[in-house]
Amino acid sequence: MNKLIVGFVPKDSREFAYVVDSKKYKGYSTIEALASYFLQDSVNFRILLLRPESLDESWEEDLKSRLISIGMKEENIVVCKFPTNGSYEGKRFITDPKIISDFIFLALKENYKEEKEVILDVSRGLNFLVLSAVEAYRRFIVAIKAKNILNRGNILNFKYVYLTPLGEGGGLSEIRLEKIDAPFFFDYFKNYDRLPFDFETEKKEELCMKFNFIKKYITQIVNTCIYTVKRGFVLAFLTIIDWKKVEEFLKEAEDKLNFLALMDLDSELSEWEKTSEGEEIIKRKYTMNYPLGNLWIYINLLKAFLEIYYEYRDKIFIENDLKWVKIETLKDFNERIINGVFKEYGTNVILGNELEKFEFSFKRGEIRESKGGHSDILRNFNAHAGLILDFLEQDPKKGAITYKKEIHNKINSFLREWQKEIETYKS
């Protein structure tokens, strides 16, 4: 099984003894012992080392040399430097803790190569860095789940590394791998209007415009997709959402959201000064009001929705400048996606009943007639899974339906009702 092992570059000066599966290994870090263990069993794995900027690069080089000496290939060892917070050896770093977590998240995201098992070593490192790594790891797990929401057979293992002292003056510890998970809640995302980045620089407005618009649009369109699935608005999902715009935006968003991953920690967004006592201070000129890792969860989920659309777009046909969908296509979507993937059982029943009524009428060569006089159109739109007759054109011969052109804007307005649900939940 392919594995990715993730851990901090440690600042150790002596050798320790470790036990893994009743076998003893020696090394200056847990990572070395784990590498020895997996190399002995000829397991295919890579190592991602996280080095805080406060730690001299020589520690990274020493660890890499030791790993290579026990049999690791250099190309299978990757090191990522990330920002830190606090005072270390005459230098003080001032960094928003969410930035630290986001850098670790991006290191995981950028270096994950579809391994079947990801192991995070939380046995070594300062407590606040361990907590930042765990926070990033949980977001990474949820992002992977969002990415694989249509492929539940692609089951991955996620594990933590723990150490249990076994005596001998603290010189012997047992390494244990414990499976962990993070829940994936398929629901609306709150704080959709909260912008993530806050910059303290002359280019503040330019940088805000470049990066902050991404989050608002991403969360809005993801929430719209969630709303269509939870309510059963399949016809709206396939014909009203502007998927071409989504496709273009996803490409742009991926490029721009790599900003932190590619940013030089010593760039103009970091401010250096020296105190009268000679202490160097490094301050980041940006903070995060919203975790960047969450945005990648939303992006992966939006990619999944786009993939769903791709599966059905060839079954959408255009006549008279309208997008038509056959009842059999909507029924397939209802069973495979709403019921099969997202387990929205109540919605599945309501939509199924509506589609059966169309199917029954079309087999008789008839269209379904609206009785009119609806007092609450939005309520009826919800009650009939978006298939309110006043809004539809019907073609019994082709067994297909579509929305009237003149009411597209009204439907788009209806699809934004999730905002009211979120506000109601908050209050």
User: How many CB atoms are located within 10 Å of the residue 264 CB?
Assistant: 9
User: Which class is 3-180 in CATH?
Assistant: alpha beta
**384-410 average pLDDT score:** 94
Write the pLDDT tens digit of every residue in 195-249: 777 888 777 777 777 666 677 888 899 999 999 999 999 999 999 999 999 998 8
Domain residue spans of the chain? 3-180, 197-425
**280-284/172-179 β-pairing:** unpaired
For residue 13, pLDDT beyond 90: no
* Model confidence pLDDT, tens digit, residues 161-194: 988 877 655 568 888 898 888 877 777 788 877 7
Those residues whose C-beta lies under 8 Å from the C-beta of residue 190, and which sit 6 or more positions away, are: 422, 425, 426
Task: Say what the pLDDT of residue 414 is.
Answer: 93
- Using 50, 70 and 90 to split pLDDT, how confident is the model at 395? very high
Give yes or no for a contact between 300 and 143, defined as CB atoms under 8 angstroms apart: yes
Tell me: pLDDT of 4 over 70: yes
Q: Which residue has the higher pLDDT, 286 or 219?
A: 219
CA–CA dist 339, 346 (Å, integer) = 9
Q: Return the pLDDT at 185.
A: 74
Cα separation, 390 vs 406, whole angstroms: 11
In the predicted model, is pLDDT for residue 159 greater than 70? yes
**What are the residues whose beta carbons fall under 8 Å from the beta carbon of 127, sequence distance 6 or more?**
none
- Bigger pLDDT: 172 vs 115: 115
pLDDT band at 356 (very low <50, low <70, confident <90, very high): very high
